[in-house]
Structure 1
Amino acid sequence: MRVAVTGTPGTGKTTATDRLADAWDGAEELRVVHLNDVIREEGFHDGADPDRGSLYADLDALAGWLDERADADVELVDSHLAHHLDADRVVVVRCRPDELKRRLTDRGETPAKARENAEAEALDVVLAEAVERHGFDAVYEVDATDRSPDDVADAVAAVVRGEREPSAGTVDFAGYL
């Protein structure tokens, strides 16, 4: 089973998937794939955006790479791009835009990039893309704003284990705008 763990940069995806991998006690083998690392390490990109410094990911190459290595019972695919790939379930990690903006500036992002990502979060950009590709029945939202990384990891684990119902559309940050 492939579970895409996606969301706007800074929401807590990577921390949550790492915590889940460390605490996993399921009978199934669990593997975490951090797509942003794979893009850089394997060269699955077509250069960098000169304004943002981010790489233009080659999603077809990523999809092929993932399919060739699909050997774990559960594969968590972590990236703000993960929802663009095939997955059985999609977890969209969310964060209140003002908090997201703070997190991004604290980790050194420019104010413009932090503002752009906060606005994308308020507009549900990643959620809308995930629902469009995978449908409402496969998308789960997790609001990480006031939750510890371990709590977010537990919420992702509940999705993996089938203990949560799909929940696309339950988080609303439109008031930020």
Structure 2
Amino acid sequence: MRVAVTGTPGTGKTTATDLVASPLDVLHLNDAIRAEGFHEGEDPDRGSLYADLDALAAWVDERANERGTDGLLLESHLAHRLDADRVVVLRCRPAEVERRLTERGEPPAKARENAEAEALDVILAEAVERHGADAVYEIDTTDLHPEAVAREIEAVVAGDREPSAGGVDFTDYL
């Protein structure tokens, strides 16, 4: 089984997936993009890489074959763009996303852009479009400790949580 954990930067994906107790192997896709060179240059305005998703998908398939498993937990704001059986979309109040990103050194314009994307459900909409609402599990992380988010992800992996897409609404931020 492949489970993608995705969401706007600043929603807690890396922190939570590092705490997940699961038989699935965790792959931090952003690390692979940088380390393996799965990109086609950098956006000069945002300081982010243009990911080569085809190369990344092939690399994920190779990791699965090497490990003799398809049991992967894929973590990245791009994870929903790859093949997955279930997609966990972490959500967070846009003002909190903006605060977290600014605190970790992102330029204010980039933090604001990500907060607006969160308010507009950009990643959720992409996940539902690619995988269908029956495969998407939305988790609002705003007031949850990372351990609680990890337990929610574990429930998705175990099949103990029902799909949920569209229950979180941050449009009041706009």
Q: TM-score, normalised by structure 2?
A: 0.96
Query: Could you tell me which residue of structure 1 aligns to residue 110 of structure 2?
Result: 113
**What CA distance in whole angstroms lies between the structure 2 residues aligned with 1:118 and 1:143?**
14
The amino acid that maps onto 2:127 is A
Query: Could you tell me which residue of structure 2 aligns to residue 165 of structure 1?
Result: 162
Alignment RMSD, CA only? 0.9
Q: CA deviation at 1:72?
A: 3.6
Figure out how many residues of one structure are paired with residues of the other and give that number.
Answer: 171
**What CA distance in whole angstroms lies between the structure 1 residues aligned with 2:157 and 2:71?**
8
Structure 1: runs of 5+ lacking an equivalent? none
Query: Could you tell me which residue of structure 1 aligns to residue 81 of structure 2?
Result: 84
Query: Could you tell me which residue of structure 2 aligns to residue 128 of structure 1?
Result: 125
**What CA distance in whole angstroms lies between the structure 2 residues aligned with 1:34 and 1:3?**
12
**What CA distance in whole angstroms lies between the structure 1 residues aligned with 2:18 and 2:69?**
16
**What CA distance in whole angstroms lies between the structure 2 residues aligned with 1:72 and 1:48?**
33
Query: Could you tell me which residue of structure 2 aligns to residue 64 of structure 1?
Result: 58
**What CA distance in whole angstroms lies between the structure 2 residues aligned with 1:158 and 1:147?**
15
The amino acid that maps onto 1:57 is A
1:18 lines up with 2:18 in the alignment: yes
In structure 2, which of residues 77, 92, 107 is the aligned counterpart of residue 95 of structure 1? 92
Q: CA deviation at 1:73?
A: 5.4
Query: Could you tell me which residue of structure 2 aligns to residue 55 of structure 1?
Result: 49
**What CA distance in whole angstroms lies between the structure 2 residues aligned with 1:30 and 1:129?**
24
- Secondary structure of the equivalent of 1:69? helix
Q: CA deviation at 1:68?
A: 1.4
Query: Could you tell me which residue of structure 2 aligns to residue 74 of structure 1?
Result: 71
Structure 2: runs of 5+ lacking an equivalent? none
Instruction: Quote the sequence identity (%).
Output: 75
Query: Could you tell me which residue of structure 1 aligns to residue 4 of structure 2?
Result: 4
Runs ≥4 in structure 1, deviation > 4 angstroms?
A: none
